[in-house]
Structure 1
Amino acid sequence: MDIPPEAVELGVRLAESLARNTATAIDDKVRALLTARKNDQIVAGLEEIISDLVADKSELTRIAQAYQEELIAQRLTDQDVRYITDTIMPMLRKLAQNSGEGGEGQLAQIDAFAPLLSVDTVKVLQILGFNFRQALGEPLTELTRKAILSRVPATSDTQLEGVRREQAYVHLAMDAEAYARFREMFPLS
């Protein structure tokens, strides 16, 4: 399971805060202050401890909010599910109808699949831990990226490999014995 770097950072910050604020650590600080026996030092030390605890509480609140935002970003809302269903299902039906042979079978499969895209089903699956954005969104994004890159002109590395291959052909053509062996391995027809 891939954990987003933001979540890892939040976990580290949470662990640091928890380590600073264990009951033992706070108790040790208070005991050390009380051994000073000077009221102004004790008061100043206790104020510092309280200030640190308040700052750490604020940090913990920010961490909790960041975790909540991360979780919300992974969940599909009811409105998201309705929009996807209202957009995808008609498009799938149209594709099946235009596919010619087997279109009726595809329509039956689409109709069988449609109830899985209900708000209730999506909520249940998300509660069980299914991440639709990761399971469907990321692969679709990767497929789209590959499709776009396949239409992009060759990179300089690809062009360089082509030049190297052509140079190897020239060297092969210049060596009669090597060319003969090459033709034995790869006859013209």
Structure 2
Amino acid sequence: MDAELLKLSTTLAGMVSKHTSQPIYDKIRKSKAKDDDEQTINELETIIIELIGEKNQILQLAQEYDEKIVAQKLKDEDIEYITENVIPLLESFAKNEGGEKAREMEDTLEQIKPLLSKETVNILQLLGFNFQKALGQPLTDLIEGMISSKNPNSGKEEVQLEIAKEQRITEYFKMINDETAYARHIGLNG
């Protein structure tokens, strides 16, 4: 389960279990037992305000939960668009690419195509399958690999070079702050 959905579920379950009817009845009974009518009314108003606030929080959590679930579900129009437009576009992109990455992409697309019928998608989504996470991320990674393989200076190499430069600068500043190490540096480099 998605971490955000898990957090929402846990919060919702905590609120629901915390506010069962028995503690509320106990508060009401305790308020009514007092002899001061004004104090009883104030306490009952406080209970009502708390309950309204908690109800609003629960409704907000339920709405967020619903939005997360709906965001993961592909609509019929989305499925049609993907099968009619996106898959052929990716296939032509792979054919123009050539090489090992193109074969990998074509193989991946061939595996995905049978899954993209309306019936299959709806059944799998009812079972909790997240197409956007399962298919979208691997396709993104695959295309990113194909694009970066065209670049002679791969992005990963550039990142590693930048990290090494930053580490060198950090070590230099550490050496400057250490009087003994700095004196050795000056002695070696003049």
- TM-score interval, normalised by the smaller of the two chains: 0.5 to 0.7
Structure showing greater radius of gyration is 1
Please list, as runs of the form range in 1=range in 2, the aligned pairs for 1:24-173 lying within 5 A after superposition.
24-91=22-89, 94=92, 110=110, 114-144=113-143, 148=148, 150-151=154-155, 153=158, 154-158=160-164
Distance in structure 2 (CA, Å) of the matches to 1:141 and 1:97: 17
Deviation at 1:23, TM superposition (A): 1.2
Corresponding residue SS for 1:13: helix
Deviations along 1:57-91, one digit per CA (max 9) or x if unpaired, are 11111111100000011111111111111123423
What whole-Å deviation, never above 9, does each CA across 1:125-174 have from its counterpart, x for those lacking one?
Answer: 1112211011112233344556649335243334689xxxxxxxxxxxxx
Q: When the two structures are superposed, what TM-score results if normalisation uses the length of structure 1?
A: 0.64
Give the deviation of 1:33 after TM superposition. 1.0
Distance in structure 1 (CA, Å) of the matches to 2:24 and 2:61: 21
Distance 1:42 1:90, change over 3 A: same
Unaligned runs of at least 5 residues, structure 1:
162-189
Query: Match of 2:16, as an amino acid?
Result: L
More helix by share: 2
TM-score when normalising by structure 2: 0.64
- State the identity %: 36
**Uncovered stretches (5+) of structure 2, i.e. residues with no partner:** 168-190
Q: Secondary structure at the match of 2:54?
A: helix
Q: Deviations over 1:34-64 (max 9, x none)?
A: 2212211112111111111111111111111
Number of residue pairs the alignment of both structures matches: 153
